[in-house]
Amino acid sequence: MTGDTASPGVLGRGPLFWGGLMLVSYLLVAALGTTGAVDGAPLYILVILPFALVMPMIAAANRRSEARSSGCGTKGEAQRRYTKRVAVFTFLYLVVLGVMTFAIKQGDVPPVLRTFLALLPGLAVVGIFWSVGRLIVEEQDEFLRMLVIRQSLIATGFAMCAASVWGFLESAEVVQHLDAYWWAVAWFFGLGIGAAANRIRYETWGAV
């Protein structure tokens, strides 16, 4: 079985590198937003940019999956479908968030159109969650399925704990308000924690 260090990636980097870079970027953006250093449309633009790192992360994960599949004699169809779905929803997220930001920045937008534009980025993120769920359903390898479920549970626990703690701190006016979509970002960050936990426990990062 091929080890992680021997798996190909993008620009010589694996998916963990690109995912970590994205998460660090989001933490910096969160710090800028919560401190008020950046606000309004520029903050929305900064939220968009790190998400573009999902593309090389997916490409690196796909190449690693193909390398493992060739070594194990399996096709990994479930993971290929997963990476394609995530790539599509990520592209849609970037497009619709850019359109929403541009439209709102232009001036007075009718409430109905504003609501419609605001729904689209959220639905794109929902599509990514759905992709993870479909991977769990479609993955035939029980070990890989267990790794994905384990990652997802760790990510959910991390995001819910972070939301609970921050919510009470916010109620006590200790910290500033955070928009709810940041908890989705926390969930994706939790996937990275789950991958690290898989690596420590099972010596493999997992499929997500």
pLDDT in tens, 12-51: 777 778 878 877 887 888 788 778 787 776 776 777 777 7
Number of domains in the chain: 1
**In the prediction, which pLDDT does 99 show?**
83
Is 197 contained in some domain? yes
Total-model pTM: 0.70
Is 115 contained in some domain? yes
Give 33 or 173, the one with higher predicted confidence. 173
Is 5 contained in some domain? no
Check whether 7 has a pLDDT greater than 70.
Answer: no
DSSP H helices, the chain, are 15-35, 41-51, 54-72, 77-106, 111-138, 142-171, 181-202
**Mean pLDDT value of segment 110-117:** 89
Q: How confident is the model at residue 78 (pLDDT cuts 50, 70, 90)?
A: confident
Check whether 11 has a pLDDT greater than 70.
Answer: no
Is 107 contained in some domain? yes
Is 6 contained in some domain? no
**Which pairs with CB-CB distance under 8 Å and at least 24 residues apart come from 13-18?**
13/56, 13/60, 14/60, 14/64, 15/57, 15/58, 15/60, 15/61, 15/64, 15/205, 16/192, 16/195, 16/205, 17/60, 18/53, 18/54, 18/56, 18/57, 18/60
**In the prediction, which pLDDT does 68 show?**
61
35-39, 86-90, 106-110, range with greatest mean pLDDT:
86-90
Q: Which domain holds residue 107?
A: 11-202
**In the prediction, which pLDDT does 9 show?**
57
Supply the mean pLDDT for the chain.
81
Check whether 77 has a pLDDT greater than 90.
Answer: no
Give 76 or 73, the one with higher predicted confidence. 76
Is 207 contained in some domain? no
**In the prediction, which pLDDT does 129 show?**
95
What's the sign of the alpha-carbon dihedral 187, 162, 22, 93? Answer: positive
Q: How confident is the model at residue 4 (pLDDT cuts 50, 70, 90)?
A: very low
Q: How confident is the model at residue 6 (pLDDT cuts 50, 70, 90)?
A: very low
Is 179 contained in some domain? yes
**In the prediction, which pLDDT does 69 show?**
56
Is 2 contained in some domain? no
107-116, 147-156, 177-186, 198-207, range with greatest mean pLDDT:
147-156
**In the prediction, which pLDDT does 199 show?**
85
